[in-house]
Amino acid sequence: MTVTYLKKATRTAHSDEGDVRDAVAAMLAAIDAEGEAAVRRFSREFDKWEGEIVLSDAARQAAIARVPDKTKDDIRFAHANIARFAEAQKATVLDCSIEVIPGLMAGQKQIPVEAAGCYVPGGRYSHIASAIMTITTARVAGVRHVVACSPPRPGFGIPPEIVFAMDLCGADVILNLGGVQGVAAMANGLFGLPKADVLAGPGNQYVAEAKRILYGRVGIDMFAGPTDSMILADESADAEFIANDLIGQAEHGYNSPVWLATTSAALAEAVMARVPDLIEALPEPNRSSARAAWADYAEVILCGDAEEMAGVADTYAPEHLHVQAADLDWWLGRLQAYGSLFLGEETTVAFGDKTSGPNHVLPTSGAARYTGGLSVHKFMKTVTWQRATRAAARDLGVVTARISRKEGMEGHARSADVRLARFFPGETFDLAPAED
């Protein structure tokens, strides 16, 4: 059986990619040339912010004091889970060494970057969880200096609950900055800060484009587009769960794709029948976002069997992949392309987005074909080292000289030659490459 689309998207995540590159490039060039003055100008223009850029300790503590204890406890719960998972990730990558040949030791070390910049989105929603995900992960990785920024609300600043999360998770400095100007301030080391070695965190298309242009000058977590989610379900799945899970992800934005692949036509019809009421029951702006995402970007796909569903998932490579079907262990072993996998109806993507532990900064728009999400490894460098004895240098030198000459790199060859002559005086070596 070939897959059948019961609902087909009229747009994709790439359909509305505006040509923002020129605008972002112009802003970055202005910031490179003018520094903090340009950042302040863009902050006034886009954030409508006239206040301090670097959040003072007094303002930080005042914001924290406004956060209810119940909210603080909830943030602490999420932080503990996310930190625990990040610590387990870090334990999987170790320093090591090996004697490659007698007398030649080589190894690897894990070194965290010195400084990280964490972007926490603002706008429609207060993204508390994004602050926890990025800052906590950088800290667990061992980053020495962490800067966080988020769009300030006009006349108010960053929401207090985000400030509390930033403080709890270990942000050294908090910037009242959003958009391109926030990303550039961290990358360029403005306002007395160290230049970020790595930029991390989700954002809108302008933030994503700024990170894309800056990549190379700094490291980034990934290129990110609109969030997307897929559910794989068989006849045992609950239509109410699935409909709620799809709409819960569609509320991210008008261009956030959600997909259902199922082997049950009856389940598909039940989900499609339930979705409109769930959308209309949402408050604004969530309702408008979910309505547009469902109308233009959502798909419902009927498959012949589990293997066909798995093939669809591997092709789409979704950011979030949720299996609500029998034999979860089979799915865990079979699926190959996703940002994060959620197994069973007891699990939901919303848990991963907010509190459960694995990071919610994930590859979108099919990028899960070649990369995973944000982890401690994004803030660390795996570097190598080697040390040879003079005895080991004998064979290394001879072969290096011959390969170098075969390549035409005489300078490399002579670096080997001089050591052979010094370490083994009186010996004659065959240092010429083989004739063709």
What is the CATH classification number for the domain harbouring 290? 3.40.50.1980
Model confidence, pTM:
0.93
217 and 230 within one domain: no
Q: How confident is the model at residue 17 (pLDDT cuts 50, 70, 90)?
A: low
User: Terminus-to-terminus CA distance in the chain, angstroms?
Assistant: 56
Residue 90 lies in a domain: no
Residue 142 lies in a domain: yes
The whole domain housing 397 covers 389-435
* C-beta separation of 187 from 24 below 8 A: no
Exposure of 361 in the CB half-sphere (CA atoms within 13 A): 33
* C-beta separation of 211 from 201 below 8 A: no
407 annotated to a ligand binding site: yes
402 and 283 within one domain: no
pLDDT per residue as tens digits for the range 133-168: 999 999 999 999 999 999 999 999 999 999 999 999
DSSP 8-class letter at 146: E
* Domain-terminating residue out of 193, 221, 249: 221
164 and 131 within one domain: yes
* C-beta separation of 400 from 419 below 8 A: no
pLDDT at 1 over 80: no
Hey, CA dihedral for 136, 138, 141, 144, is it positive or negative? negative
What mean pLDDT is predicted for residues 93-104? 96
Positions annotated as catalytic residues are 319-320
Listed in sequence order, the DSSP H helices in 126-193 are 128-141, 160-169, 179-188
pLDDT at 52 over 60: yes
pLDDT at 18 over 70: no
54 and 198 within one domain: yes
pLDDT at 16 over 90: no
* Domain-terminating residue out of 171, 195, 221: 221
For residue 145, how many other CB atoms are within 10 A of its CB? 17
Residue 89 lies in a domain: no
pLDDT per residue as tens digits for the range 346-364: 999 999 999 999 999 999 9
pLDDT per residue as tens digits for the range 238-283: 999 999 999 999 999 999 999 999 999 999 999 999 999 999 999 9
184 and 130 within one domain: yes
Residue 85 lies in a domain: no
Residue 353 lies in a domain: yes
Distance CA 293, CA 287 (A): 10
Residue 6 lies in a domain: no
196 and 120 within one domain: yes
252 annotated to a ligand binding site: yes
* C-beta separation of 348 from 362 below 8 A: no
* Radius of gyration of the chain measured on its C-alpha atoms: 26
What mean pLDDT is predicted for residues 82-109? 97
pLDDT at 116 over 90: yes
* Surface-to-core class of residue 120, CB atoms within 10 Å of its CB (0-12 exposed, 13-18 middle, 19+ buried): buried
pLDDT at 224 over 90: no
Give the DSSP H/E element, type plus range, for residue 412.
helix 410-423
Lowest mean pLDDT among 173-177, 280-284, 421-425, 432-436: 432-436
What is the total count of domains within the chain?
A: 3
pLDDT at 104 over 90: yes
* Domain-terminating residue out of 206, 221, 236: 221
191 and 48 within one domain: yes
How much is the pLDDT for 120?
A: 97
Give the DSSP H/E element, type plus range, for residue 380.
strand 380-388
135 and 261 within one domain: no
Residue pointed to by tokens 């987005």: 353
287 and 165 within one domain: no
257 and 207 within one domain: no
232 and 205 within one domain: no
412 annotated to a ligand binding site: yes
227 annotated to a ligand binding site: yes
Q: How confident is the model at residue 123 (pLDDT cuts 50, 70, 90)?
A: confident
Residue 144 lies in a domain: yes
322 annotated to a ligand binding site: no
192 and 339 within one domain: no
Count of positions (residues) in the chain: 436
Residue 7 lies in a domain: no
Which has the closest alpha carbon to 28: 165, 206, 152?
206
pLDDT at 334 over 70: yes
